[in-house]
């Protein structure tokens, strides 16, 4: 069971959180202008990587805040936790 | 007489406390401190089970968790439990156990015919036969199923109590043998919060039955002093009888604690599941002994040598009177020496090694024990109990038969690396130990003692001290000062040559078991390899080796070694099959804990629940909520009650408990802008004091939830949601607000629980309410809201109605809900008021053509499909908007909401009935698919219309209004006419029918 | 409540469970970086707004519990919920914030005695060790399947468990079951 | 059609054919002479078609390519060992009672192939048509079941509503007390549904495909997809480059990884799906019982264990492990439905990586890269579809045009919005 460090409340069990999928998939500003294909890309297509994943979580049964997590999808190791709305967290060993 | 195999003295049993028990109907006695296995052996009972596949007689083989044979059915009736290892059952007075998987009796089992036919039943035989004729498989299968399985499931609900407990610690130590104890001690002395868990009743591990001295005293004295110190330490928790079963991610460890005998007391749980979050873990899980592979190596009376020694030293039981010891290392000699000291005759020590020159072999020889080296067992005799072994030098030569009633085999030791591996730790093959040992760890975990193939006691102690200290340090604690390692005297022992364990007689036609539990033989391994199932994971699945109750604790090591041989590769290159939780089986009840019975899932009740109950309401489940469905009067059916309730609303006044509706308070300068984006209909234009029906879409354009938007003030809104949608919608709003539009100053607060809400509906509602209200409700326009008092209670009054027609909804703080309800019921007596339930509410709203999200919608229905396109505004952005422009959302032949009238006005179609173009029935399964045009979403008998009405989603339904379709039923077909989805008009006039 | 108006209570070995009398509770939302907001709250409650997760402030008039970075629960035993809300609303009138009366939305159960932690640990995954969850600490979490707010308070430290009113029966049944192990011998199970 | 293709490769007809007689004959030679079930060839430089993924779907695709389309120069490339992906870790429920026409037709096609499969493959896949019950616990469930059962019937699929009393007769251990927290109000029953032996399905297809000439290459991970002008030309693997003008990718949970190699994005997320078995016991449950509302499904294997399936873990993962809370929830649900199972014990738990699509329906599709085909998105329910999926995918590859049954499942649906939303049918994994 994951232990996730809510940026506000600190480390809590996975059961208190909700998972929100891939992070940094922003709502296109001009949705109405997009082609069907581009809209489908936003709506459905996900990178679903094997390895490091930037993803959204919400502390449902705690402070109710959304935040982002960098987790390795092969080991479940969590590398970083950062606030919603901030740019993708860069890890020291990653090319920018 | 009684307990013929009990020694006169010794062992960790209380000879003053005699316990009576029964096995297979026979009465026996044992002592407090016994296990069922030790007590049976004390009574000279070896035959305890029949094997899984061949139903071969089997005896007790091991001392603890690794036991593959002696599984029994413990207790009876509701308390019965199948497949329990006799080696792990603490004896108690009155215990009743039975053998399993035999018919009619353990001694005479017809299933043993399988053994006779075994040439036809090699590994995987079932894949090759029973294919013809195809229709017969179910029959074959029935017979196979009856032969398979072991014990029996109880027929009654588990009567016991269970719970789960969370725990947090700095250092969790698993195993209270010498390594675990020293680890716990050094961690505790550093001030760490320590949990020490061991599955046994007592701490000590192998020291419980090995004869070592520590600091010049018997080792158990050291154990006692350590336990005393740990027990006194404030931050140490000792969990005895606690099996650590699973090691999951982020150092989350699950353990199951047993409290007492199967009949637990009324207060205490029978078992407790611990859920431990440890910063650091030390695994000191020890090792189990390896069996030898030789022909007919499974006869009762053939045991592990360590186990034989354990039964002697821990329980004062001699498992035989004339013993052959077969060993591949010096350890077997310990058993010989201990038995000899207890006066048991040693027929011979059979050492498979060519040379046996160590200290222990010398001692054995010095005691006059015959030692045969370079020999192996080529056959065994005896049916229900071993009676002799035949031995022969590896090099060939004469076969000698040695009579015996016990064979103690010592094949070396297998480190218990299960938990380490579950923790994603990598395993490494240790050639010296001939076994897999912990390699690189992937979580904060350390190992100590024989789990690392450190076979010597002083090594175990030293590793434990080091691991415990390092773990505490990793938690940021100072290492304990002045930790002195205790002094140990132990004879040196040369390591076992484990490769010999499976390198006995290959030519024999007799069965040589590698996995006793799954009845897998050496020949099976060979066959699988030949057929190409020669990777360990394929071999496991093809032969089922390692898939039994013991998960191959003993057998897997030999399976892997034999497979390596078959492939001509070095041991260790084959790998191991995956270790998975649990380390040992854990009862389902323990995992469920208190989440059983009424606590399985919370029930939510409204503030008025008790009133409904007292007034005979029949409840229905809506998510976790209990909602009053209808209120039958004496003798009334569902139908009659609902008809009456509906008419009360249409003609007089009725009252519905609407408290379960979700409610969300929205405040802030940008609240209107926010909701404008959330709802597909306009919100900004809503005037304060007014309400509007609103639809929310998902991003894919499909209806997600609906409800009323009330604008309480310029910057203050109250939304209602569906009962089931309350939490979903609140989360949805927060998500958008926080992640997409944090710049919008808006605060959302779920207030479902704060308000009790009552819908007062019907033409008399105004007369009923007006005198009780502090505001002039007659002056309230349709779809408006006011704040005031109702019956002296601070309230919000909404003029709106889901039932259609005149109606109000009153919301008061939940703690006044009951009072409001009873007051209104009292005041309503004059008007013959009737409480109405959800069923009547459904009929009433269907008459008006109002949808229910989840009934008219299923996640694939857009507002356009529902005919609500007039609500959808194109001149603004809202969630789901773009998706409504996709080609599929614009298709003319999408399913659209319509009304249905059956030809016969008394025919009420079942909801879920499908609609087709040409008449047909469901009686026979159609050969060719019949195209479906839609289906019935809601269907009722409408008292207002005096006939049945229905709503349906139908392909291009709006264009078909006026046309006829067919509703196929089981044996007949009903003609239906499509209408607009509304049956009763604004002034309650009937529109069709 | 009209149904079972009697206050629930259970006394076991080193354990007391009980239902607390209704109390005024207001959920307060606002920007903690806005000094005027913080000041206004102080004028009404005479308390500093706790800004750190898990912290609470207690005074004579009221107590304030941290719920989130812009969310607090203001409780009072001495005022009515609507009065508390009204005075907060009045003080905060000019500020973008939200004041929502939530007193009726919740039931508060108190769990006290030296076995309290063990009872709660059966359903709560927080580390309730006194160093990790000291007096005055509060946290939202799950107790078994009920979302709860846990607050350790009082002269004789007692865990207060705020739970949704609709889960009153569930939470009590759960607490009773968890406590049954500590029933005094003569008590029913 | 299928009966004809059952004959194994020429030259080995009698010796290799499995039957009770073959068993008896081999018993005389102590089973020393059984041949390998499939060869273990070295990869060749090029194939007409390369199938990536040696799960049931990949092997079935290769088999039908060879048997039905005469394309025998086919390799199945498997990263590890065949059948150890989801095909080797599922709860083996087979049924075809899906809601929407497109799915119903596809799964029914598959079910009909199942009914002949042991004979077709000459491998006993132990397809046990013991019936599948879907329980209803509230009025909403009942309504949804009725809708689905009616639709099934009109689609030619056997399906019926059964009463609580009938449910009790079919599964006596179920708690049918009306006061239960989740009372059983009725159920749908598909009698032709049931379970099968998962490994046997894989091995059966492997052996039959091999006999038809297909090369099954294990321990051969595809690391890149080679293309020229958006046309596939081959793959790179850990065992070298292999040329092929057609590549079919059938890698379940790894679909996104392979898609990324071809610069395609998929609407797929990979989640852990957990399952567990109890210790083996004598027969207590003769049908398959599934419940959406309490989220558990269970059957008893021929060996005697209860095979229990859980819901998916919420977060994406590639590690074939799930989280313990899911096990707690699943086991509590099991005990709630079957209170007498409480004293039985969990023997083993595990997880697979399921490829979940937004509409809970598969993708069987051509792609923007010519000659590259994807078959994925089966999520929690593709075991039952293995024969049908392989059959229509082989057609799609061989003809370079979707099989009619596969047309609704093309990738385009995510652009047009014509989803096949089977969440109702798949709300609980199966
Ligand atoms: C716990 C669980 C329970 C389930 N229960 C059911 C059920 O009851 N009924 C049902 O119908 N379905 C069920 N399913 C779903 C079903 O198992 C799958 O949909 C189905 O088995 C998928 O088969 P497949 O052949 O597509 O995938 P897999 O069997 O996963 O095969 C894919 C193969 O691709 C290989 N691969 C991946 N990457 C590469 C690469 N780069 N190169 C080469 N090879 C690669 C993998 O190693 C793997 O062997 C369940 C699934 C799980 C996990
Ligand atoms: N002569 C030999 O060849 C040989 C071989 C092995 C061990 N030994 C001796 O055995 C001792 C080894 O000490 P040790 O501490 O490493 O091991 P140990 O066997 O003494 O202790 C291990 C303990 O861990 C417990 N345990 C294992 N798995 C568990 C689980 N999942 N949950 C809860 N408890 C669990 C066991 O019940 C046992 O009490 C030393 O004295 C060593 O000399 C000798
Ligand atoms: C239908 C089915 C039945 C199973 N029965 C058993 C069993 O009886 N004993 C066992 O140990 N494992 C059993 N397993 C689990 C496998 O041992 C294994 O855990 C699973 O296939 C996943 O593989 P892995 O654990 O090697 O990753 C079964 C698996 C399935 C899919
Ligand atoms: Zn938080």
| Domain spans in chain D, listed from the N-terminal domain onward | 46-92+199-268+359-416, 126-191+270-356
Whose C-alpha lies nearest to ligand 2, atom 16?
B449
Domains of chain B with bracketed CATH: 14-116 (3.10.20.440), 162-287+415-489 (3.50.50.60), 292-410 (3.50.50.60), 609-659+754-845 (3.30.1360.120), 662-753 (3.30.70.1400), 891-993 (2.40.30.110)
The structure tokens listed for D47 are 């194939």
For residue C118, pLDDT beyond 80 = yes
For residue C189, pLDDT beyond 80 = no
Mean pLDDT, all residues of chain B? 95
For residue B492, pLDDT beyond 70 = yes
Whose C-alpha lies nearest to ligand 2, atom 29?
B285
Which residues of chain B lie closer than 8 angstroms to C102, CB-CB? 749, 751, 753-754
Q: Do B166 and C124 touch (CB under 8 A)?
A: yes
Q: How close is the Cα of B176 to the center of ligand 2, in Å? A: 8
Asked if residues D345 and A22 have their Cβ atoms less than 8 Å apart, the reply is: no
Ligand nearest to the CA of D364: 1
pLDDT of amino acid C2: 41
The structure tokens listed for D271 are 């989640």
C141 Cβ under 8 Å from any chain A Cβ? yes
Is the interface score ipTM higher than 0.90? yes
Q: Which CATH number fits domain D46-92+199-268+359-416: 3.20.20.70, 3.50.50.60, 3.40.50.300, 1.10.150.300?
A: 3.50.50.60
Ligand nearest to the CA of C139: 4
For residue A85, pLDDT beyond 50 = yes
Quote the percentage of chain C above a pLDDT of 90.
86
Determine whether the shortest distance from the Cβ of D246 to ligand 1 is under 6 A: no
Q: Do A12 and C126 touch (CB under 8 A)?
A: yes
Q: Do D314 and A19 touch (CB under 8 A)?
A: yes
For residue B310, pLDDT beyond 80 = yes
User: Quick one: average pLDDT of B146-162?
Assistant: 95
Which residues of chain C lie closer than 8 angstroms to B625, CB-CB? 166
pLDDT of amino acid B417: 98
Asked if residues B173 and B187 have their Cβ atoms less than 8 Å apart, the reply is: yes
Sign of CA dihedral B844, B846, B852, B854: positive
Q: CA torsion, points B893, B899, B903, B907, in degrees to nearest 10? A: 120
d(CA B284, CA B451): 6
Quote the percentage of chain B above a pLDDT of 70.
99
Determine whether the shortest distance from the Cβ of B493 to ligand 2 is under 6 A: yes
CA distances from D222 to A50, B258, D259, D261, D391 (A): 15, 49, 12, 9, 23
Asked if residues D314 and B52 have their Cβ atoms less than 8 Å apart, the reply is: no
Question: Which residue intervals of B382-506 are DSSP H helices?
Answer: 418-422, 457-474
Determine whether the shortest distance from the Cβ of D50 to ligand 1 is under 6 A: no
DSSP sequence for D54-91:
-SHHHHHHHHHHHHHH----EEEE-SSSTT-SGGGSS-
pLDDT of amino acid D423: 84
For residue B880, pLDDT beyond 70 = yes
Which residues of chain A lie closer than 8 angstroms to D323, CB-CB? 1-2, 14
Q: Which residues have a Cβ under 8 Å from the Cβ of B915 and sit 6 or more positions away?
A: B900, B932, B933, B934, B935, B936, B952, B954, B965, B966, B967, B976
Q: How close is the Cα of A4 to the center of ligand 4, in Å? A: 10
Q: Tell me how far the alpha carbon of residue B519 is from its chain's centroid.
A: 28
Atom of ligand 2 at shortest range from CA of B457: 43
Q: How close is the Cα of B39 to the center of ligand 4, in Å? A: 55
d(CA D328, CA B330): 45
Determine whether the shortest distance from the Cβ of B182 to ligand 2 is under 6 A: no
Atom of ligand 2 at shortest range from CA of B449: 16
Asked if residues B240 and B227 have their Cβ atoms less than 8 Å apart, the reply is: no
pLDDT of amino acid C185: 65
C7-21+105-184 has CATH 3.30.1360.120 classification:
yes
pLDDT of amino acid B990: 83
> For the domain bounded by D126-191+270-356, which CATH number is listed?
3.30.9.10
Q: Do C122 and B669 touch (CB under 8 A)?
A: no
Which residues of chain D lie closer than 8 angstroms to B119, CB-CB? 27, 30
Q: Which residues have a Cβ under 8 Å from the Cβ of B655 and sit 6 or more positions away?
A: B758, B759, B760, B761, B821, B824, B825, B828, B833, B834, B835, B836
Lowest mean pLDDT among B83-92, B282-291, B765-774, D4-13: D4-13
A37 Cβ under 8 Å from any chain B Cβ? no
For residue B504, pLDDT beyond 90 = no
Pairing of strands B81-85, B427-430: unpaired
Domains D46-92+199-268+359-416 and D126-191+270-356 share a fold: no
Q: Do B594 and C104 touch (CB under 8 A)?
A: no
For residue B289, pLDDT beyond 90 = yes
Q: Tell me how far the alpha carbon of residue B928 is from its chain's centroid.
A: 42
pLDDT of amino acid B531: 97
Which of the residues in chain D have pLDDT under 50? 1-13, 426-430
Residue C150, classed as helix, strand or coil, is strand
Residue B326, classed as helix, strand or coil, is strand
CA distances from B429 to B325, B432, B579, D391 (A): 28, 9, 15, 44
Q: Exposed, middle or buried: residue D28 (CB in 10 Å: 0-12, 13-18, 19+)?
A: exposed
Domains of chain A with bracketed CATH: 17-24+43-85 (3.30.2270.10)
Determine whether the shortest distance from the Cβ of D255 to ligand 1 is under 6 A: no
For residue B479, pLDDT beyond 90 = no
Q: Find the CB nearest C166 among B604, B749, B813.
A: B604
List pLDDT tens digits, range B71-95.
999 999 999 999 999 999 999 999 9
Q: Which residues have a Cβ under 8 Å from the Cβ of C185 and sit 6 or more positions away?
A: none
Q: Find the CB nearest B597 among D31, D181, D218.
A: D181
Asked if residues B779 and B736 have their Cβ atoms less than 8 Å apart, the reply is: no
Determine whether the shortest distance from the Cβ of B174 to ligand 2 is under 6 A: yes
C142 Cβ under 8 Å from any chain A Cβ? yes
Atom of ligand 3 at shortest range from CA of B540: 17
Omega of the bond leading into B133 within 30 degrees of 0 (cis): yes
Question: Predicted confidence band at B926 (pLDDT cuts at 50, 70, 90)?
Answer: low
Sign of CA dihedral C90, C91, C95, C96: negative
The structure tokens listed for D106 are 């596809």
How many beta-carbon pairs under 8 angstroms link B with C? 132
In a 13 Å sphere around the CA of B321, the CA atoms on its Cβ side amount to: 7
The structure tokens listed for C97 are 């914030």
Task: For chain C, give every domain's residue range.
Answer: 7-21+105-184, 24-104
Asked if residues B580 and C108 have their Cβ atoms less than 8 Å apart, the reply is: no
Residue D379 C-alpha, separation from nearest chain B C-alpha, in angstroms: 19
Which of B66, B177, B584 for a ligand 2 pocket mutation test, highest count of atoms within 8 Å of Cβ? B177
pLDDT of amino acid B425: 97
Q: What are phi and psi of C28, to 5 degrees?
A: -115, 130
CA distances from B855 to B46, B842, C104 (A): 64, 10, 31
At the fourth CATH level, which superfamily is domain C24-104? Heterotetrameric sarcosine oxidase (3.30.70.1520)
Q: Do C53 and A63 touch (CB under 8 A)?
A: yes
d(CA B145, CA D285): 11
For residue B33, pLDDT beyond 90 = yes
Instruction: For D171-295, list the strands marked E by DSSP.
Output: 186-190, 194-195, 215-217, 222-227, 232-237, 240-243, 246-249, 269-278, 288-291
Q: Do A32 and B424 touch (CB under 8 A)?
A: no
Which residues of chain D lie closer than 8 angstroms to B587, CB-CB? 342-346
For residue B864, pLDDT beyond 70 = yes
Residue B550, classed as helix, strand or coil, is coil
List pLDDT tens digits, range C129-139.
999 999 999 99
| Closest residue, chain B, to C189 (C-alpha) | B267
3-state helix, strand, coil in chain C (%, to 5): 25, 35, 40
User: Quick one: average pLDDT of B942-954?
Assistant: 97
User: Quick one: average pLDDT of B333-362?
Assistant: 96
DSSP sequence for B958-983:
HHHTT-EEEEE-SS-EEEEEEE-S--
């Amino acid at each position: 069971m994951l232990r996730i460090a809510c940026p506000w409340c600190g480390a809590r069990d996975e059961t208190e959180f909700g998972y929100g999928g891939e992070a940094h998939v922003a709502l296109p500003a001009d949705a109405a202008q997009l082609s069907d294909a581009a809209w489908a890309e936003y709506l459905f297509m996900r990178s679903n990587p094997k390895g490091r994943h930037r993803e959204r979580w919400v502390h449902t049964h705690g402070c109710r805040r959304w935040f982002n997590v960098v987790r390795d999808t092969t080991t479940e190791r969590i590398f970083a936790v950062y606030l919603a709305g901030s740019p993708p967290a860069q890890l020291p060993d990653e090319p920018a | 007489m009684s307990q013929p195999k009990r020694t006169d003295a010794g062992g960790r049993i209380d000879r003053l406390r005699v316990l009576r028990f029964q096995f297979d109907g026979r009465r026996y006695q044992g002592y407090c401190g016994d296990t069922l296995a030790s007590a049976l052996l004390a009574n000279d009972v070896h035959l305890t089970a029949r094997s899984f596949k061949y139903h071969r007689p089997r005896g007790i083989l091991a001392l603890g968790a690794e036991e593959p044979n002696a599984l029994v059915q413990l207790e009876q009736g509701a308390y019965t439990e199948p497949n329990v290892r006799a080696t792990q059952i603490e004896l108690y007075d009155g215990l009743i156990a039975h053998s399993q998987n035999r018919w009619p009796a353990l001694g005479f089992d017809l299933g043993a015919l399988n053994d006779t036919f075994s040439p036809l039943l090699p590994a995987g035989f079932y894949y090759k036969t029973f294919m013809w004729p195809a229709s017969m498989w179910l029959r074959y299968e029935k017979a196979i199923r009856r032969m398979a399985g072991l014990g029996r499931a109880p027929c009654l609900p588990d009567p016991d109590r269970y719970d789960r407990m969370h725990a947090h610690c700095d250092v969790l130590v698993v195993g209270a043998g010498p390594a675990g104890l020293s680890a716990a001690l050094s961690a505790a002395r550093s001030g760490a919060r320590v949990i020490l868990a061991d599955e046994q009743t007592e701490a000590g591990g192998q020291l419980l039955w090995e004869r070592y001295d520590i600091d010049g005293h018997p080792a158990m004295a050291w154990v006692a002093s350590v336990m005393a110190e740990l027990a006194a330490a404030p931050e140490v928790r000792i969990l005895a009888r606690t099996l650590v079963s699973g090691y999951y991610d982020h150092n989350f460890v699950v353990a199951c604690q047993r409290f007492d005998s199967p009949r637990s007391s009324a207060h205490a749980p029978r078992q407790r599941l611990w859920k431990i979050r440890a910063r650091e873990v030390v695994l000191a899980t020890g090792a189990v002994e390896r069996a030898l592979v030789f022909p007919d190596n499974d006869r009762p009376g053939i045991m592990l040598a360590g186990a034989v020694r354990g039964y002697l030293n821990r329980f004062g039981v001699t498992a035989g009177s004339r013993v052959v010891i077969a060993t591949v290392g010096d350890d077997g000699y310990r058993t010989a020496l201990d038995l000899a000291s207890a006066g048991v005759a040693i027929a011979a020590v059979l050492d498979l090694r060519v040379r046996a020159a160590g200290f222990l072999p010398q001692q054995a020889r010095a005691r006059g024990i015959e030692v045969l080296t370079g020999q192996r067992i080529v056959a065994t005799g005896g049916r229900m109990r071993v009676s002799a072994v035949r031995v022969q030098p590896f090099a060939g030569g004469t076969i000698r038969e040695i009579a015996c009633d016990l064979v103690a085999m010592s094949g070396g030791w297998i480190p218990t690396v299960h938990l380490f591996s579950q923790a994603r730790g990598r395993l490494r093959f240790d050639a010296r130990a001939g076994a897999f040992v912990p390699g690189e760890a992937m979580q904060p975990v350390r190992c100590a003692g024989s789990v690392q193939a450190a076979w010597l006691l002083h090594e175990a102690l030293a590793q434990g001290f080091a691991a415990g200290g390092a773990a505490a340090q990793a938690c940021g604690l100072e290492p304990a000062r002045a930790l002195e390692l205790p002094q140990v005297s132990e004879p040196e022992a040369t390591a076992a040559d484990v490769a010999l364990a499976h390198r006995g007689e290959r030519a024999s036609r007799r069965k040589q078991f590698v996995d006793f539990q799954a009845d897998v033989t050496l020949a099976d391994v060979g066959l699988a390899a030949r057929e190409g199932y020669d990777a360990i994971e394929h071999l496991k699945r093809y032969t089922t080796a390692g898939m039994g109750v013991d998960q191959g604790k003993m057998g897997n090591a030999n399976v892997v070694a034999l497979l390596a041989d078959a492939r001509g590769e070095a041991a260790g290159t084959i790998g191991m099959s995956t270790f998975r939780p649990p380390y040992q089986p854990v009862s389902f009840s323990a995992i469920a804990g208190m989440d059983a019975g009424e606590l399985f899932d919370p029930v939510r009740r409204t503030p008025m629940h008790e009133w409904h109950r007292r007034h005979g309401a029949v409840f229905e489940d809506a998510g976790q909520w209990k909602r009053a469905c209808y209120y039958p009067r004496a003798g009334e059916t569902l139908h009659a009650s609902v008809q009456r309730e509906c008419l009360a609303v249409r003609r007089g006044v009725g009252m519905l408990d609407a408290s379960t509706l979700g409610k969300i308070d929205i405040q802030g300068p940008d609240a209107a802008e926010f909701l404008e984006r959330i709802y597909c209909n306009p919100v900004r234009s809503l005037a304060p004091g007014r309400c509007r029906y609103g639809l929310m879409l998902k991003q894919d354009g499909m209806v997600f939830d609906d409800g009323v938007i009330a604008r309480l003030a310029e910057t203050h809104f109250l939304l209602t949601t569906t009962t089931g949608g309350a939490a979903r919608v609140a989360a949805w709003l927060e998500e958008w607000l926080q992640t997409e539009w944090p710049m919008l100053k808006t605060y959302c607060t779920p207030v479902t629980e704060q308000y009790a809400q009552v819908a007062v509906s019907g033409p008399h509602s105004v007369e009923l309410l007006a005198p009780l209200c502090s505001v002039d409700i007659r002056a309230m326009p349709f779809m408006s809201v006011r704040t005031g008092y109702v019956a002296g209670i601070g309230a919000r009054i909404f003029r709106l109605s889901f039932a259609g027609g005149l109606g109000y909804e009153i919301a008061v703080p939940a703690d006044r809900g009951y009072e409001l309800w009873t007051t209104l019921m009292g005041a309503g007596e004059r008007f013959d008021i009737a409480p109405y339930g959800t069923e009547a509410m459904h009929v009433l709203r269907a008459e008006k053509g109002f949808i229910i999200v989840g009934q008219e919608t299923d996640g694939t229905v857009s507002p356009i499909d529902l005919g609500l396109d007039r609500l959808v505004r194109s001149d603004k952005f809202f969630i789901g908007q773009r998706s409504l422009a996709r080609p599929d959302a614009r298709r003319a032949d999408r399913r659209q909401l319509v009304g249905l009238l059956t030809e016969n006005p008394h025919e009420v179609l079942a909801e879920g009935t499908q609609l087709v173009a040409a008449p047909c029935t469901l009686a026979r399964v159609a050969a060719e698919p019949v195209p479906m045009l839609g289906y019935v979403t809601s269907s009722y008998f409408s008292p207002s219309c005096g006939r049945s009405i229905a709503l349906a989603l139908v392909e291009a339904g709006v264009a078909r209004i006026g046309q006829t379709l067919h509703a196929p039923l089981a044996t007949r077909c009903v003609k239906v006419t499509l209408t607009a989805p509304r049956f009763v008009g604004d002034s309650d006039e009937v529109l069709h029918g | 409540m009209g149904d079972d108006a009697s206050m629930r209570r259970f006394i076991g070995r080193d354990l007391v469970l009980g239902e607390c009398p209704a109390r005024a509770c207001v959920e307060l939302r606002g920007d903690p970086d806005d000094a005027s907001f913080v000041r206004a709250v102080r004028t009404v409650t005479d308390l500093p707004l706790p800004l750190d997760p898990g912290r609470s402030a207690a005074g004579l008039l009221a107590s304030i519990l941290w719920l989130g970075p812009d969310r607090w629960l203001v409780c009072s035993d001495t005022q009515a919920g609507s009065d508390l809300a009204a005075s907060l609303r009045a003080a905060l009138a000019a500020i973008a914030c939200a004041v929502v009366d939530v007193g009726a939305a919740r039931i508060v159960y108190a769990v006290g005695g030296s076995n309290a932690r063990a009872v709660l640990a059966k359903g709560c995954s927080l580390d309730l060790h006194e160093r990790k969850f000291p007096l005055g600490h509060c946290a939202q979490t799950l107790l078994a399947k009920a979302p709860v707010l846990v607050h350790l308070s009082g002269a004789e430290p007692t865990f207060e468990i705020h739970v949704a009113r609709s889960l009153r029966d569930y939470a009590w049944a759960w607490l009773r079951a968890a406590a049954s192990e500590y029933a005094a011998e003569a008590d029913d199970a | 059609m299928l009966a004809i293709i059952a004959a194994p490769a020429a030259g080995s007809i009698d010796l290799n054919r499995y039957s009770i007689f073959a068993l008896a004959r081999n018993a005389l030679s102590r089973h020393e002479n059984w041949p390998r079930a499939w060869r273990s060839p070295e990869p060749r430089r090029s194939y007409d078609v390369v199938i990536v993924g040696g799960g049931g779907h990949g092997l079935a695709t290769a088999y039908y390519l060879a048997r039905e389309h005469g394309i025998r120069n086919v390799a199945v490339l498997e990263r590890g060992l065949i059948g150890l992906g989801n095909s080797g870790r599922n709860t083996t429920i087979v049924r075809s009672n899906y809601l929407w026409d497109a799915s119903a037709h596809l799964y029914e096609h598959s079910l009909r192939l199942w009914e002949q499969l042991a004979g077709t493959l000459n491998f006993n896949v132990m397809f046990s048509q013991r019936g599948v019950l879907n329980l209803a616990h509230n009025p909403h469930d009942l309504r949804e079941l009725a809708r689905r059962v009616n639709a099934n019937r009109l689609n030619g699929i056997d399906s019926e509503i059964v009463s609580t009393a009938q449910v009790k007769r079919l599964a006596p251990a179920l708690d049918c007390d009306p006061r239960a927290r989740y009372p059983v109000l009725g159920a749908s029953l598909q009698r032709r549904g049931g379970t099968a032996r998962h490994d046997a399905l894989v091995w059966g297809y492997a052996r039959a495909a091999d006999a038809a000439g297909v090369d099954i290459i294990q321990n051969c991970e595809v690391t890149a997809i080679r293309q020229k002008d958006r046309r596939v030309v081959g793959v790179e693997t850990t065992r070298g480059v292999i040329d092929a003008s057609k590549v079919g990718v059938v890698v379940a949970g790894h679909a996104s990884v392979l898609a990324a190699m071809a610069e395609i994005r998929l609407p797929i997320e990979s989640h852990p799906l957990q399952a567990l078995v109890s210790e083996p016991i004598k027969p207590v449950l003769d049908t398959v019982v599934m419940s959406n509302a309490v989220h558990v499904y269970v059957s008893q294997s021929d060996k005697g264990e209860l095979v229990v399936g859980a819901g998916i873990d919420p977060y994406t993962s590639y590690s074939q492990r799930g989280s313990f809370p899911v096990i707690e929830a699943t086991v509590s649900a099991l005990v709630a439905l079957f209170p007498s199972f409480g004293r039985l014990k969990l023997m083993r738990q595990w997880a697979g990586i399921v490829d979940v699509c937004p509409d809970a329906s598969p993708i069987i599709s051509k792609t923007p890269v010519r000659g590259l085909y994807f078959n994925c998105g089966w999520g929690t329910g593709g075991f039952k579809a293995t024969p049908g999926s392989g059959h229509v995918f082989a057609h799609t590859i061989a003809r370079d045009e979707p099989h009619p049954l596969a047309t609704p499942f093309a990738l385009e649906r995510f652009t047009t919005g014509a989803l096949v939303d089977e969440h109702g049918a798949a709300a609980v994994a199966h």
